[in-house]
Homo-oligomer: A and B are copies of this chain.
Amino acid sequence: MDGWHETEIRVRYAETDQMGIVHHSNYLIWFEAGRSDFCRARGFSYKDMEEKDNALMVVAESYCRYKSPAYYEDDLIIRTKVGEIRSRTLRFLYEVVRPGDDELLAEGETLHVVTDENKRVRSLPETYKAMLLKDSEEDENAFPANQAPH
């Protein structure tokens, strides 16, 4: 699994545009769905982070490369992993794949700054950092030591 978490989505009619393909802004929403799901799979909710620990992961940068269009009713996989974690920022990486024809539709990343509810930058609580990195550590045991994580 090399640190990637997979989230299934099905393309909605409302997500298409008059070009007959998914409007490009939706990929950022899918990335976010993947990110939420990634966090849940690591044992915590984005919601808890906001409500219980006053830590928000504000999006500071987004990037997406659109390689091939997605269509209405496509069953897609959003693949999400942590790119890097620093004390006050973290980066997530994404891939959008259509298993039906094994096509990589898009890849992207988002950079997040950790803030409190008043938008002041703060450091990511250790407990979340540990959970976000959890799976990668397991990979180090599961894979040969000389194989670098992506």
| A interface residue numbers (CB < 8 A to B) | 10, 12-14, 16-21, 23-26, 28-29, 32-33, 36, 40, 45-47, 50, 56, 58-66, 69, 72-73, 119
CB distance from A148 to the nearest CB of B (A): 26
**A17 partner, pick from B18, B47, B66, beta carbons under 8 A:** B18
Copies in the complex: 4
Residue of B nearest to A63 (CB): B63
Most B CB atoms within 10 A — which of A24, A29, A63, A66? A24
Residue of B nearest to A111 (CB): B65
> Are B64 and A61 within 8 A (Cβ)?
yes
CB distance from A126 to the nearest CB of B (A): 23
